[in-house]
Amino acid sequence: MTPRIIFPLSLLSFSAAILMGLYLYASSTPHSIVYFMRDTASLGGLTPVAGFLSNLGILFWCVSASICFFSAYLVSQIKETQITEKRFLLTSGFLSSYLLLDDLFQIHESSHLIFPNYGEKIVFLALAIFSLGYVIAFHKLILRTSFLWLIAAFSCLASSIMVDSVLSLNFSNEILHWLEDGFKWFGITCWAGYFLSVSTQLIKQAIKNSPR
């Protein structure tokens, strides 16, 4: 089969599998299928702007992941020898995708079900170790880019986690919540800005170095 046929068939098969899987899962729970298909605001009887900043942040995570994956494909197609750049963009795409899923499904907050008493700490520690390894592995490439955006992103996201740890000690108030989500928002936008910048740079570089 040609790619022109394979792609639509794969997309339709994926869509059908998600719907069927969701129906089978719903049938094994006390909830109706509607519970898993309607948006959260409708289910909770909330206004459409409820969770506005959180939803916007999720969109920016999605933008970051999409930019990285598409740029990795373009770079590899333009110049096949740019293996490091491709790996950097793919790794960044997978990291952005995890952060997207974590933010969307609150993975770190439900991790205590698997690791009682240490759930969030284990998730954050694993993320910190992975992020450190990521920076070390690609430090030469990162230093050739607008890396201050990446430093700002990591700093803001780390600050959000620190404020969250204070909130977990029952020091909850509106200002602390504003700071937590504010730092997170700035972190996400800096993250998206960095990968938009670095992807543009690497694509231009690949075009410039490609054989005419």
Give the range of the structural domain holding residue 27, as residue numbers without chain letter.
Answer: 1-37
pLDDT tops 80 at residue 172: no
Task: Classify burial at 133, counting beta carbons within 10 Å of its beta carbon; exposed 0-12, middle 13-18, buried 19 or more.
Answer: exposed
Verify that 29 and 93 share a domain, yes or no: no
Question: What residues contact 189, with CB distance under 8 A and at least 6 apart?
Answer: 60
Verify that 29 and 64 share a domain, yes or no: no
pLDDT, mean over the chain = 91
For residue range 75-95, what is the model confidence (pLDDT) as tens digits? 999 877 789 999 999 999 999
- What separation in angstroms does the CA of 197 have from each of 26, 75, 94, 150, 201? 42, 14, 18, 11, 6
Cβ proximity of 177 and 183 under 8 Å: no
Q: What is the pLDDT of residue 199?
A: 97
- Reported as a pLDDT band with limits 50, 70 and 90, residue 170 is low
Total domains in the fold of the chain: 2
Q: Where is pLDDT greater, at 146 or 171? A: 146
Query: Taking the model in full, what pTM does it have?
Result: 0.91
- Reported as a pLDDT band with limits 50, 70 and 90, residue 114 is low
Verify that 160 and 55 share a domain, yes or no: yes
Task: Find the DSSP H helices in 111-170.
Answer: 119-137, 139-142, 147-167
Q: What is the pLDDT of residue 18?
A: 96
Is residue 44 a part of any domain in this protein? no
CB atoms < 10 A from the CB of 121, how many? 14
Verify that 187 and 163 share a domain, yes or no: yes
Verify that 15 and 66 share a domain, yes or no: no
